[in-house]
């Protein structure tokens, strides 16, 4: 994960921005929740599971 690489080199963000799922991720990170817990959160919440969406149906 990119953030793990940044932490490995001692680089930490001073500002956090995001929209949609990125905003959720940013708020969890700002709350000092570790990356393994954040990853677990995104893997277990059904709305974030990609197999939930139909890829074979036409869209706009």
Assigned domain for 60 exists: no
State the DSSP string of 1-60.
Answer: -HHHHHHHTT---S----STHHHHHHHHHHTT--HHHHHHHHHHSGGG-GGGS-SSS---
Assigned domain for 51 exists: no
Assigned domain for 56 exists: no
Work out how many domains the chain is built from and give that number: 1
Backbone angles phi, psi at 18, to 5 degrees: 180, 160
- Cα–Cα distance for residue pair 55/60, rounded to 1 Å: 13
CB atoms within 10 A of CB 43: 9
| pLDDT tens by residue, 24-55 | 888 998 998 988 898 898 888 877 776 666 66
How much is the pLDDT for 54? Answer: 62
């Amino acid at each position: 994960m990119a953030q793990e690489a940044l932490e490995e080199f001692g680089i930490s963000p001073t500002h956090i921005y995001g929209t949609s799922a990125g905003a959720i991720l940013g708020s969890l990170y700002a709350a000092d929740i570790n990356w393994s817990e954040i990853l677990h959160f995104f893997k277990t919440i059904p709305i974030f599971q990609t197999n939930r969406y139909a890829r074979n149906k036409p869209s706009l």
